[in-house]
Structure 1
Amino acid sequence: MEVVCGRRLIERRAYKNEEVLVDWILELWEKGKIFDAAEESIRQEENRGEVKLVLELGVLCSHQAESIRPDIFGHADLEWSFAVSV
């Protein structure tokens, strides 16, 4: 998520609702604007699906509840198809 967004996990100089990267991305996701979290240099329409996948997966993998975090084996095909398309 840090690479895609071009910022650190904690940004003390950010707006209050944007200080914690995961929380900010989740807020954007809930508003249907997750792509807005991506660094401007990679916000190209052809990258939209990959960027969305990385951010959504990052939020899910960071979740406090273990039951919500994705299982690595259940997502192996997804990650493989993503790696091949890049």
Structure 2
Amino acid sequence: MDDQGLIVQFETIETRLDALIQICKDKDNQNKELIGRIEKLEEELRTKVEAEHRYAEEKALIRERVDQLLMRLGEITQVDSSPS
């Protein structure tokens, strides 16, 4: 092989290497974007889970208060309907 052929081969290798480096950089950027998106989605999920937990607690508290009011109402009704 002559010197010109070697130079052409090195230029071809260099071009391919530059393309591979660019592909790696692009994939790295895509990876960072996806990691950021995952973190955002995980935070949204945590927020929704916390809100759902608070809702369940509020629902249980409301249910407890309603039950207490119904018991009190039942007691009042029994007192009013008892023969005097």
Kindly indicate whether structure 1 or structure 2 has the higher relative contact order, using CA contacts under 8 Å at least 6 residues apart.
Answer: 1
Above 0.5 in TM-score?
no
The TM-score bracket by the shorter chain reads under 0.3
Structure with the higher helix share, 1 or 2:
2
**TM-score by structure 2 length?**
0.24
